[in-house]
Amino acid sequence: MNPEQQRAACAFLYQHWKGGSRCDGLPPQLRPADRAEAYRVQACIEDNSKQPPAGWKIAATSKAGQAHIGVDGPMAGRLLAERRIPDGGNLVLGSNLMKVAEMEFAFRFGEDVMPRAQAYSQAEVLAHVSALHPAIELPDSRYDHFETVGDLQLIADNACAHYFVLGSRAPERWRDLDLAAYTVRGLKNGAVAETGIGANVLGDPRIALTWLVNELSHFGYVLKKDQVVITGTCVKPMPIAVSDRVTGDFGELGGVSVCIV
């Protein structure tokens, strides 16, 4: 794909995103041929934003999630700053197709992570992290049948990114906890709807975070200071409907909530 085709593919998807409509897939002439092209299409979404990206998300971090959308591994997507909902704020459900909420660990970076030839170790990645936050992701897709379009079209469509919520900064003792074994609860209207652990995210949220850093590095993208990375859902995605209040209970690490309107 040449740059004009990449921009055209992104514009096609963004118009559906902006209008709340969906499509069967990208036109054949605008479909990326490989992962590098798919990320270049995705990158064009930044041209539609007046603010720098808030960070990154990881999609398909569980075997069940990968099977559900027909992919064999995780994918990275961009979090747009204007799609952040304040903690306790409202999400207009509108035409959202997926209609789920996901409870996730979010890592904030204290310095840039630059692309390099050598893979980053988990210890190196965590040394760049300045804070941990509880988070809720509210994904969506611009495809009517996102389960069958394949990983390249999903990456081009920003890996199902939509809205997200960040809770307050967690106590610094998070670094001493076993996040793989850590319990996270998702509540709807005050009642526990789903319970999960960090191991549901590629075995450990810190493993998922390291994967994201190396994915960006491999394709030449900078993970910038103060950006956050939401690492994938610890609980089974929770169905949501208008009038629901959704809460992520992260125990001693805090909580985060959103109202569906």
Work out the average pLDDT over 193-206: 97
Q: What is the pLDDT of residues 127-168, one digit of tens each?
A: 999 999 999 999 999 999 999 999 999 999 999 999 999 999
Can you tell me the distance from the alpha carbon of 184 to that of 106, in angstroms, rounded to the nearest whole number?
13
Rounded CA separation 232/256 (Å): 15
3-class DSSP state of 6: helix
pLDDT at 113 over 80: yes
pLDDT, one tens digit per residue, over 66-91 is 887 889 899 999 999 999 999 999 99
Residue 167: phi and psi, rounded to 5, are: -85, 180
Query: In the chain, which ranges are E strands?
Result: 55-59, 75-79, 84-85, 90-91, 100-109, 129-138, 163-166, 183-188, 191-197, 228-233, 238-239, 245-249, 255-260
**Exposure string (b/e) for 114-152, b if CB count within 10 Å is 16 or more?**
eeeeeebeeeebeebbebbbbbbbbbbbbbeebeebbbb
- How many Cα neighbours within 13 Å face the side chain of 242? 6
The pLDDT confidence band at residue 104, using thresholds 50, 70 and 90, is: very high
CATH of domain 51-260: 3.90.850.10
DSSP 97-140: SS-EEEEEEEEEESS-B---SSPPPHHHHHHHEEEEEEEEEE--
CA angle centred on 105, ends 56 and 115, rounded to 5°: 35
- Alpha carbons 149 and 32: distance in angstroms, whole number: 12
Cα–Cα dist 39/76, whole Å: 8
The pTM of the full predicted model, rounded to 2 decimals, is 0.97
Question: What does the pLDDT read at residue 65?
Answer: 82
